[in-house]
Structure 1
């Protein structure tokens, strides 16, 4: 029996290297302390990125505040604005920050007039599209409804340092807020009331001689009515002192006529004049349902109210009551004659 002797050795064999602890298959060990070194090297870059982010947020906040200041500057100077605590500048808006308002230099808000192709607004001459006759034309006031008039602009500017890295750049904003403040209200355009016809000021018309003659005839008829000798007798229609003393104000019995914008006399007569005559004379032309019956009924109502008040007295004045009753009977007989 052959017995092999085992030999033990404390070191590596000849030609072999000793394996290093903590490595696999004898690979070289990593260098310790490299990660902290890389972190130290990248910290300045991270700090700069963080500073830029903070500056960006700070810059956005000041931009919004500049827009608010420019809008406030132009809106608080409007004619309809009511002064109050809101007129104060925005918070932290202190010099060198500024806010102001002024006119707008060219180019205007509307470089091209959107109504330039509309002859009804920009003219300069508005002609009859069917005839084109020089006698049927209107001169258009081009500046009456001008869009670029009364255009004002609020402005807010600010120039200050950023929060971080102030030597690199500064916050600088110059914000403008244009406002077309013209409201085209009737008194701004030269009209007496909101019911005035806009066309009378927007257009200048040289009427035809026949139209001028009709206008003069109408004016003459108006003057004849105003200075007519029977005019004092018409005061009962709206200025009767007896009715005014009892009711507090005199009723107005004048029937109102419409104001159509028409030049056809036949159409005006059918749509305005004839209905007005019917309201005056009544449907059948005899006064019933018209102004005569309405006035008589108003006086009857007044006399009955006066009788009811006199009957409350002790003793009631019979003579006065009888006089009022006689007036009522007379008015009833008058109504009976109407048809």
Structure 2
């Protein structure tokens, strides 16, 4: 057990819900947020990060501190269909939850789904105070804070909201837009080629970069490619090696050409959906309705261009090899851009050297609505 006032980590601070697109109010001075509140809530955020990132549900952690200042329970959401973080923490706390303070990284839910409402569970347990980081933007689940206040519980929200929003950025994106956050990943040469003139492309990048791609895949709920790539390369589109999760991402095939019955993407190593259409917006919307909040686009230049033209790419992860080809397929097809002023503008967020290759991560400015 850990006493209130004993550190969970350095650099404690209170962040408001401003910035990062996080919804909800700022923390008002009259909320009386203490350093201990920040410390315990930061522990809840750390617990939340232990959950499965590709799960349809958000990452949530909870900490319960008893009336005497001792930690009496903690937990995090372990995936769809399992107890929510508050329920896990309450189970660990038992009777010590009565009169206690609960710290949770997301506003307690107020609806009955596969599990009961967390707001009701907190009331039944007799907690006296709830401090949460991020207001729940999901209209189906929101309202837990109001329900708790109406029952006499002291509730404070918006503490460390920016950190909580960053933890669940792709889930928040799906809730707000109805579609997944799309990361376009490609491997190319320094002169922007995805393959040589004769069509060969294996392997442009080295082992370290390819292993990193599997770690990226493991963080996504779906991997999207086109029928052209399936016919040309017969990819497996699974996560392999040390990064392999207990549940493989959904494999998504887009295009009107038939997928051969013997294609590796149709085996039983992972679930697969085939969308016989060129309407990428409809595909994205359907994936959003199915709960996918982070999709990895691994298609060829034609599919990549279609997603870019539709304004559906949010992030680019480019693996660049110190190689020059001078001819061959480009990493992306025509975008309908005729002048430099109309170019897609990106902001670089990370540059990492992977042996001889370089990984560049960048976000696309939302110029297309």
Q: TM range, normalised to the smaller chain?
A: under 0.3
**Structure with more strand by fraction:** 2
Greater C-alpha Rg: 1
**TM-score, scaled to structure 1:** 0.19
Q: Which has the higher contact order (CA 8 A, sep 6+)?
A: 2
